Structure 1
Amino acid sequence: MLTFVFVCLSISVTGLHADFTVVVGSPSVKVKENKGVDLKCSYTADFGATPRIEWKFKDLKGYQFFIYFAGMITAEYEGRITMYDGGLRFNKVTRADSGDYDCEVSGNGGYDEKTIKLTVLVPPSKPVSRIPSSVTTGNNVRLTCFDADGSPPSTYRWYKDNTPLPEDPTKFPNFKNLTYKMNVFNGNLEFPSVSKLDSGSYLCEASNGEGAPQRGDAVHMEVRDLNVGGIVAGVIVALLAVGLLLFGLWFASKKGYLPKKAESKPKQQAVYTQPRADDMDDGDGEFRQKSSFVV
């Protein structure tokens, strides 16, 4: 028992029970595009006087890159960042720098890491929308809207005849007869079964809190009933055309305008004729066939 207590006291006094802790200034940093920014990362003395420090970056698509490795700034970041005791500094950021930055420290048998999320703020651009100009009642119709530049990603709003559409139409008496579904995060406006009440001029708006919201072009969507009469008329015309074609072929055949099939000639048959006696023996006892088949 005394030995166990002595060992525990020895570990505490000699500092073998180390924390090995990495600390970041802020786990989430936001900065406007083309501005400089510091990503601060410090660590406890348990790692020793010369710990191994590495910085890694993972972009929004999930690809990972080294920024600082083996005591050197990697080629992709030379001239863009500066390392100092306690972090790194971007001279100027772009929207491609948004993502997660890992600060990893190891030494004296210890290891720890912390992540800093960097968001480069970029206003939205004019969104690209896809709105059909004419649709048929009862069909599933989807309108789309997308802003490629906004950071953080934009959210979307739709307008019909310059009136903003609520995200959930069932909660508003003026829109309760509309059956659309709106996704404010991906910009889709979907009509599971479009009706004539949905006819109108539509446009979408993108916003992310940076700069002014941006609107796309307005497009008038006309919802039309299925033209049953036109379909029936088309079928009748097609049947009449087929009937006239068949009648024309019959009439031409009857008048002899069409070439007749060539009459087949009878096949020639081989007829066997029994040889005469004088043909069989020529006096020397040798058989001589003079004629046997007549064609």
Structure 2
Amino acid sequence: MTQQSKTLFCSSSPDSQSFTASTSTPLVKVPENKGADLKCSYTADFGSNPRVEWSVRKSRQSSFVFFDGQPTEPYKGRVTKYDGGLIIDKVTREDSGQYVCSVAGAGHTAEAKIDLTVLVAPSVPVCMIPTSVTTGNKVILSCFDNDASPPATYKWYKSDVPLPEDPSKFESFKNMSYRIEPSAGILEFPAVSHADAGDYFCEASNEAGPSQRCAAVRMIPYDLNVGGIVAGVIFAILAVGLLGFGVWFAYRKGYIPSMYTILSLHAFLKSKCKWEIHPAFNLITHLSNIFSCYFPLFRLVLPRNGRKVCVECF
């Protein structure tokens, strides 16, 4: 456990400087699953039995750790309050935050604040690296690790060589134009070029443990094939036009009825007949039950949109 030996005073009444609360551990860093000792003391002005409450602030929200002499749900079985501080056993990364020791008595209040950081080493970061990009376009590579505490910082590599944050200051990177955000894990190319081709990966690190890297991914910039795109568009237009003309021609010649799809079936006997039925939920079963294949050849006209069915034998 790392603690900074420094005394912090905080009082809510500027005109009553004698009523103060303080801590000798304003910054506490503890590895996960270890114990944290948060110190809090106050002046005798508060009386022999002042009210001491502990709370924690995370993401601008406050909640009690110890209230009315009892630990709150997240801390039950893990905290011990004593005269002069608070001990948290087996801290987790969720315990990180700013802890506030509030003292009240004799009509006055004061606070002492302790920042607790639970140390968690980085895990293998998740990297989003495109394999093929178009030259001249903006390209963003991202890297993130959700486990590290404190939050990891990120370093990008190209072909096993670390990328400096300012490429203009290095001769070997003068042909590259990019922007790096170490705290966010972003590598951005405003206009990617062929010089940016290579194997990229990122490394996450913090003070809690060894760094972790994602697998390298090869990114290759390609030129935009304008001629191919134009040819493809022209071909698509011609294909649609020919298809439309073919449908129109077949319709004009009577090959395609306006409302029907025709299916011919063979049967046994020769006779002329004609029936009309309405489509059932199973049209094939419906027809076989009625006609039982006793007709030599009949034309089954299947209408669309639920219209009635015409059957002709000839």
TM-score, length-scaled by structure 2 = 0.73
1:234 aligns with one of 222, 232, 235: 232
Q: Give 2:109's aligned amino acid.
A: Y
Q: Cα RMSD between the aligned structures?
A: 2.0
Q: Describe how 1:17-32 pairs up with structure 2 within 5 A.
A: 19-32=18-31
Instruction: Please report how far the alpha carbon of residue 68 of structure 1 lies from its aligned counterpart in structure 2 after TM superposition.
Output: 1.3
User: Any runs of at least 4 consecutive aligned residues in structure 1 with deviations exceeding 6 A, and if so which?
Assistant: none
2:199 aligns with one of 198, 201, 221: 201
Q: Give 2:48's aligned amino acid.
A: A
Alpha-carbon contact 1:28-1:116 (below 8 Å) kept: yes
1:175 aligns with one of 167, 170, 173: 173
Partners of 1:88 and 1:227 lie apart in 2 by: 67
Instruction: Please report how far the alpha carbon of residue 256 of structure 1 lies from its aligned counterpart in structure 2 after TM superposition.
Output: 5.9
Partners of 1:202 and 1:18 lie apart in 2 by: 58
Alpha-carbon contact 1:203-1:215 (below 8 Å) kept: yes
Partners of 1:258 and 1:125 lie apart in 2 by: 65
| Segment drifting more, 150-159 vs 66-75 | 66-75
Cα distance 1:102–1:241, how it changes in 2: closer, same or farther (>3 A)? same
Q: Which residue is 2:33 aligned to? A: 34
Alpha-carbon contact 1:18-1:46 (below 8 Å) kept: no
Partners of 1:37 and 1:242 lie apart in 2 by: 73
Unmatched 5+ residue regions in structure 1? 1-15, 261-295
Alpha-carbon contact 1:127-1:214 (below 8 Å) kept: yes
Q: Give 1:33's aligned amino acid.
A: E
2:140 counterpart of 1:142: yes
Q: Which residue is 1:277 aligned to? A: none
Q: Describe how 1:1-295 pairs up with structure 2 within 5 A.
A: 19-59=18-58, 61-249=59-247, 251-252=249-250, 257=255
Q: Give 2:79's aligned amino acid.
A: I
Alpha-carbon contact 1:131-1:219 (below 8 Å) kept: yes
Q: Give 1:116's aligned amino acid.
A: I
Alpha-carbon contact 1:58-1:99 (below 8 Å) kept: yes
Instruction: Please report how far the alpha carbon of residue 58 of structure 1 lies from its aligned counterpart in structure 2 after TM superposition.
Output: 1.5
Unmatched 5+ residue regions in structure 2? 1-14, 259-314
**Residues 144-169 of structure 1: per-residue CA shift (max 9 Å, x gap):** 00011111111000001111100111
Report which of the two has the higher share of strand. 2
Alpha-carbon contact 2:201-2:213 (below 8 Å) kept: yes
Alpha-carbon contact 1:145-1:187 (below 8 Å) kept: yes
Alpha-carbon contact 2:31-2:208 (below 8 Å) kept: no
What percentage of residue pairs aligned between the two structures are identical? 59
